[in-house]
Structure 1
Amino acid sequence: MTTYVGRASGRIERERETVEAKRRAYGRFRSRIRSIQPRSGETGAGEVVSGSAGGRVAGPLLEAFDETVASACADRPTMELLAAELGEGVATALGAGGTSLPLLRAVLSESDRRRAELVAMERALDAEADSLARTDETVESIREWLIEANETPLSASGFEELRAYHERLAEFREDCAALLSDRQEHLGRTTSADGRAGLRHRDLVAHLYEGFPIDHPVLVTLVRLDELCTECQRSVRDHLVRRV
């Protein structure tokens, strides 16, 4: 039987590293913003420099974004990333090299919003990791028991031993059912960051396991394990009937 829980755990660790790096980059970006003196009446672009992600950036605000956030997300051009992160309006204004006070405030506000979203994602990733750990602990203990029990043919077991096997398998199925219920509840929850941003766990799971052979590694693993226990119970019952 193949499980995907371990592979999913590895994906979470990589995502944690990415999100943490991005959150820290926003912290540096925010510090840079506060060091920039606002100017009024701007219409032209500031100094033009090459963007780290392959685009062209103008002005101190855009340069600060390029050297902090864009550097932590080097897979996208600076201007494309800026629009995705802070919005088209802010991206257009920064592209013109603006450093007016309203623009500085807008960039700070959008940066705080993104940082809150990243904090919410970090917390959601922690919750997902805990859910996987609980599942993995139960799944591995059941698998180890099944492997050990499989070493002794059922034909060599007595009636009481077979009945004990059957009861143990029933307990395993109850464990799987409880974890399936917990998992469904987990997917229905939303993790927030101090009420400022929220992330639905179902959306996080869809993002995390994109490209996996299955969409829900935990649910599929538990269902398959329950099916295996059911099949084993059926075999045990067949032998029990022969003993009657």
Structure 2
Amino acid sequence: MSHTDGPETSHPRIEAALGVVEREIECVEAELTAFRRFRSRVSSVEPASPGSGGVDATGGGASSMLATATKPDAGLRAVRSAYRETVMDVPHFEAEYDDTLEANVAVEFGADLAAQIVDGTRLTPQVYEAVLAASERAQDERETMLPVLERERDSLATVRERLDDCERRAVVLGENARRTVDSTRLSAIDERLADAEAECEAVAARRQRRLHDRSAAALSGIDETSLTQYLYADEAVTCPALADVVACLETVRRQRRYCLK
């Protein structure tokens, strides 16, 4: 922002970051709902009985037994359909993942369980229980992630609000400084600019503490620094709030330099 700009402020990196976080919250909420629906549907599926699948009860001989062995049972088909119609049906699935059933299940549930779901022929009690447990873990991961993302969103919004205040004051004070040549008046303006600079530096310090808050990471199981890399790796900067703090500080210091000429 140049000294000719009015008091309107802009923090483009924070605005972009807020958009990223809001989209991620929407995705995680959609996936959480999808996994809840998936687990609910699977809960109503009956697994194969422990002794089924190895006896030819149709009288069709070896060929009938082979066909039965290679065709997935109703329970396994129901699990596959439920996964496709819930987890793979979230609005952002194609844009974010665009995976096959096996690839996505492997990411969420592990490669071994994915192989049993996609390539298996029977929904055994063991596979059934493993699917329920894995879907619950997937829910838990998203339930843990949501408040972390919400805290990041709130932190960004708070930084933006504080920077808006600092920058508006700096611009107005800078305009006042350019209307006077009185040294006493300029000194008083500079003192107020120094307060704005100190507040801006305090915003940066609070943001830094949050990024390195080990207690928060231990509580959530998610390291905040890793979170910023995950969220902002494709953005212009990976520390958007701090980048806009630096820009705000430069605005304040530019006004101070004029006062101290």
| Distance change >3 Å, CA 167–CA 44, structure 1 → 2 | farther
Of 223, 226, 235 in structure 2, the residue corresponding to residue 203 of structure 1 is 226
SS in 2 for 1:151: helix
Q: Is the 8 Å Cα contact of residues 16 and 122 (structure 1) preserved in structure 2?
A: yes
- Aligned mates of 1:81, 1:186 — CA distance in 2: 33
- Aligned mates of 1:155, 1:89 — CA distance in 2: 73
Residue identity in the other structure for 2:108: E
Of 35, 39, 64 in structure 1, the residue corresponding to residue 82 of structure 2 is 64
Of 173, 196, 200 in structure 2, the residue corresponding to residue 149 of structure 1 is 173
- Which 5+ residue runs of structure 1 have no aligned equivalent? 49-57, 239-244
- Aligned mates of 2:217, 2:32 — CA distance in 1: 15
Spell out the pairing of 1:106-121 with structure 2 (5 A cutoff).
106-121=130-145
| Residue 15 in structure 1 maps to residue 38 in structure 2 | no
Of 127, 134, 137 in structure 1, the residue corresponding to residue 158 of structure 2 is 134
- Aligned mates of 1:63, 1:155 — CA distance in 2: 72
Q: Is the 8 Å Cα contact of residues 47 and 128 (structure 2) preserved in structure 1?
A: yes
Of 18, 31, 35 in structure 1, the residue corresponding to residue 40 of structure 2 is 31
The alpha carbon displacement at 1:157 in A equals 4.4
> Which structure is richer in relative contact order (CA contacts within 8 A, separation 6 or more)?
2
- Aligned mates of 1:184, 1:209 — CA distance in 2: 16
- Aligned mates of 1:68, 1:7 — CA distance in 2: 30
SS in 1 for 2:222: strand
- Aligned mates of 1:45, 1:160 — CA distance in 2: 90
SS in 2 for 1:84: helix
2:207 paired residue number: 183
| Residue 46 in structure 1 maps to residue 72 in structure 2 | yes
Deviations 1:42-80 (A, max 9, x none): 5644269xxxxxxxxx62212211111111123322221
Deviations 1:158-203 (A, max 9, x none): 233212221122212221222212112222247579x7x6222222
What's the TM-score once normalised by structure 2's chain length? 0.78
- Aligned mates of 1:13, 1:44 — CA distance in 2: 45
- Aligned mates of 2:165, 2:135 — CA distance in 1: 45
- State the aligned residue count: 227
- Aligned mates of 2:80, 2:212 — CA distance in 1: 38
Could you say which structure has the larger radius of gyration?
A: 2
1:101 paired residue number: 125
Structure with bigger strand share is 1
The alpha carbon displacement at 1:149 in A equals 3.0
What's the TM-score once normalised by structure 1's chain length? 0.83
Q: Percent identity?
A: 28
